[in-house]
Amino acid sequence: MYRLKELDNGFKYIELTNAVSSAKIALQGAHIYEYKRQNQEDILWLSENSSFEEGVAIRGGIPICWPRFGVLDKDMPAHGFSRTAIFSVKNVREIDSETTEVTLVLKDTPQSRKIWNYIFELEVVFIIGKTLKVTLTTYNRGEKEFMITEALHTYFNISDINNISISGLEKVEFIDTLCNEKRREFETISIDSECDRVYQGKSENIELRDTDRTIFIKAEGSNSTVVWNPWIEKGSKMNGIKEEGYKEFVCIESANAFDDKIFLKEGESYTLSASFKT
């Protein structure tokens, strides 16, 4: 069962439930900000201070960074413009009693072409069931080749940052953006200070271990993995993060970032996806 709902301020979202799970997906940014298995905690972290209004990015869930990850173009917003763009509902389909598929689409407009002058179609497919899967497909619908970087900027809900470990990135080189140094990971990751690392190389299976559960992350079409937590000083200055809110989440992002640029010629497409289960 699903419904398209609207807040008093006009903010629209899809609310759905099936036999095993429930979810909420904003049309702004094609942004899933809640996913729960029955009788389980939400896998995704959402700030209690998040704004649900047009033009303001939601803090938490899975923001989609597109057609840029980070700040590469002076005329484009950080992490691209898709986070605050309004997507159209292409289809909502109940595959079976336990599985629901939602497809949202964003196409170029006169406004988008002022920022990024290309003809494109961006399709986001959510599979909601025992596993959450998010698939992001970029189509070049024009004649000019273009370049993208991208990420599924996933905020995971955790018991406490001091309780977690991350495995699956051992032996992978990474850029520590805090000091702009390249290093190689040799062990399971734990976080005890600000962390902003871009792991460069395919890491298809990652495990986020917490006190009472493990979240299994499987990525496809991802040549970078970002691990991020702002910690105390930076977190206290960020919109939507309360004091000590940094303890409640860690971001593990399936991405194509930094040197992992994707070039698409006329008629070509590229797909990035990630699935999450406990």
Beta bridge partners of 4: 14
Phi first, then psi: what are they for 119, rounded to 5°? -100, 120
> 63 near 49, Cβ under 8 Å?
no
Preceding omega of 110 cis (within 30 degrees of 0): no
Strands (DSSP E) contained in 9-69 are 12-17, 21-26, 31-37, 64-65
> 6 near 12, Cβ under 8 Å?
yes
Displacement of CA 22 from its chain's centroid (Å) = 18
Query: Catalytic positions, please?
Result: 153, 253
Structure tokens at 209: 């271990």
Displacement of CA 239 from its chain's centroid (Å) = 18
Q: Distance (Å, rounded) from C-alpha 69 to C-alpha 77? A: 10
Q: Distance (Å, rounded) from C-alpha 93 to C-alpha 228? A: 34
Nearest of 157, 174, 151 to residue 273 by alpha carbon: 151
